[in-house]
Each structure stands twice: as structure tokens, then as C-alpha cells.
Structure 1
Amino acid sequence: MERSEDVILTNMCMVYDGNKVLVQEKILRGDRKKDRSKGIIFPGGHVERHEPIVDSVIREIYEETGLTIENPRLCGIKNWVREDGRRYIVFLFKTDRFSGELKSSDEGKVFWTELEDLPDMPFLWHMDRMLRIFDKEEFAELFLEVEHDWRPVLK
């Protein structure tokens, strides 16, 4: 019985300062202009081969925002099994310790917004449900079931 599986490891971090949170506006480009969509997400990215998970989130936040974060705290995960059979795992972190000058990157525009304003913004990638992990700490895992049109299952 095989007890291992192929995985893709990624991270995302809610950087906050009081009631303000740092968000990233991403534009997803499809094959045609009408396939383009835009939405808000927290910054993050891929874990490099053999890279420690915490180091990866510190590196990704710096690359995408110009900020150096400290003491990122793991607050949950989002994951699903892709159609090719690989599991995709997003480690969800949060921190209020950072330094540096905010700057956007090729990944998208970054800016501060009020936490209470987030629900009125256009989300990407189940961000509304991830907020229940980041902000409310109501759940530790968001699992998406591919068989049901990527229906989120909070556990």
C-alpha cells in the first residue's frame, strides 16, 4: 500500500496591521480577453525544492510586496487533489510583524485595506472561505472536492 503522494506545496500570508490587511490584486489571463478575471487574494507563492516552509513564505512575501515579515504563524491549510492526481497544498500563515517599503510586483498590485471591507471586494480562489481560517480561526482546513465542481468542504 502506497503511503506517499506527489504534492505541490505553496503558501499564502495575511499580513495585518491592526484592522488593516495587505491584499494583492491578481489578474488571471485566459486564452481570450473575455477569460480574464481580476480579484483579491493574500500574497504568497510556491515552496522551492528542499526549502523550509516558513522560509518560503518569508521569501515569497518579500518578492511580492517588498516587506520582510517575521514570525509568520501557521493558522491552517487549503488543499485539493488535482485532476492529474497530485495534491496541491497551500499553507496559510498570518503575521503582524513586518518591515520595509511596500511595492507591487509582476504578481499583482499590493495595497492595504480595512479587514471589514474585504467581504465587499471581488475574491479569487475561495478567499471568502479562507478568511474563516485567517481571521476567525473557525477552521483549520479548507478541502476542495473536485468531484463536486470544486465545492469547498470546511473541516
Structure 2
Amino acid sequence: MGRAEAAIFTNMCMIENEKGQILVQDRQNKNWPGITFPGGHIEKGESFHDAVVREVEEETGLHIKHPVLCGTKQFQTNQDERYVVLFYKTNSFSGELTSSDEGEVFWIEKDALTDYQLANDFLEMYKVFVDEQISEFYYDQSNEEANVVLF
């Protein structure tokens, strides 16, 4: 039995400004709408680092520097592929904030996050970004419904 499996790699980045605010995106996607962090798919042959820098710039207009990997999210798709989201964070960036077709981007206070319509399970993902004791968000699909497990 081989150990290889089909996988899809994506990223998401929490950007914090000098005021301690975080950049969020009001995602306009029918499959996963709501407030989340910018990010997207990693292209074949692209480094994880370069992909998060590119995705953030495409979706926000900001050029991030020194993104630090702070956790992961993973689950199996209906096509039996492993879907992996690499979580990054940074407070180093330049450029002018600009929204994209993906959704409006704007700065908010961290404690105001729950005042917005969040993407599904986003609060649990947020814990991975901010709690150094948690490094993985996992959908346990061992029974009929998927349950979120944080490691």
C-alpha cells in the first residue's frame, strides 16, 4: 500500500497592523462566505512562502514580508483528497489596502471579530492563529458528521 495521496494546498494569513488591528476579508463566495483572512490556492511548483505573499497581494494590495507559519487546517474532501490550509501571520507589510473580487478587506479590532458574520468555523481557526499552544485545526470525520478538533 502506497503512502502517496492526492492533496490540495492552500493558505491563509492573519496580518496585524501597528495599532493591533487585524485585516479581515468579507469573502464573497457562495461555498464559504463571511469574514475570514485573505489567502488562496498554492500553484503547482510554487513555494508555500511565495504563494501566501502572492495571494495576500492579489486579494488586499499589500505586500507582506516575513510571514510565519503558525498552524494548519486539514480535512478530506468528497473526492478523497486531503485539503490542507497553511496558516501564516505577519505584522510586516507595505502597500495600499485595496479590495478585490474575493471580497472587501478592512481592519478591525480583535475583540470586534464576533460582531461580524464569520465564515463557517472561523472562530475555531482563529484560535490556531492566536494561541501558541494550538497548531492544528482538524475535521475528524470518523463518524457521520465532521467534528472540529484542535491540537
| TM norm structure 1 | 0.90
TM alignment of 1:37-48, pairs within 5 A? 38-48=33-43
Q: Is the 8 A contact 2:34 2:119 kept in 1?
A: yes
User: For residues 21-79 of structure 1, what are the alpha-carbon distances to aligned partners after superposition, in whole Å with 9 as ceiling and x for unaligned?
Assistant: 0000012337xxxxxx7410000000000100010000000000000000000000000
- Unpaired segments ≥5 residues, structure 2: none
Correspondences of 1:49-68 after superposition (within 5 Å): 49-68=44-63
Provide the secondary structure at the position in 1 that maps to 2:16: strand
The CA distance in 1 between the partners of 2:33 and 2:118, in whole Å, is: 8
Name the structure 2 match of 1:33: none
Structure 2 distance, partners of 1:121, 1:137, is: 24
Q: More deviation in 99-108 or 132-141? A: 132-141
Which consecutive residues of structure 1, in runs of 5 or more, have no partner in the other structure?
31-36
TM alignment of 1:3-14, pairs within 5 A: 3-14=3-14
| Residue range with higher mean Cα deviation, 143-152 or 62-71 | 143-152
Q: Which moved more, 1:131-140 or 1:41-50?
A: 131-140
Contact 2:29 2:102 in 1 (8 A): no
Please state how far the C-alpha of 1:151 moved relative to its aligned partner. Answer: 1.5
Deviates more, 1:20-29 or 1:105-114: 20-29
Q: Name the CA distance, whole Å, in 2 between partners of 1:92 and 1:78.
A: 8
Q: What are the residue-to-residue correspondences of 1:11-26 with 2, within 5 Å?
A: 11-17=11-17, 18-26=19-27
Query: What whole-Å deviation, never above 9, does each CA across 1:85-131 have from its counterpart, x for those lacking one?
Result: 10000000000000000000000000000011112322113110111
Q: In 2, distance between residues paired with 1:114 and 1:19?
A: 7
Following superposition, which runs of at least 4 residues in structure 1 exceed 6 angstroms of deviation? none
| Superposition pairs of residues 6-155 of structure 1, within 5 angstroms | 6-17=6-17, 18-29=19-30, 38-146=33-141, 147-155=143-151
Aligned residues: 149
Cα pair 2:25 2:35 within 8 Å, conserved? yes
Distance 1:62 1:5, change over 3 A: same
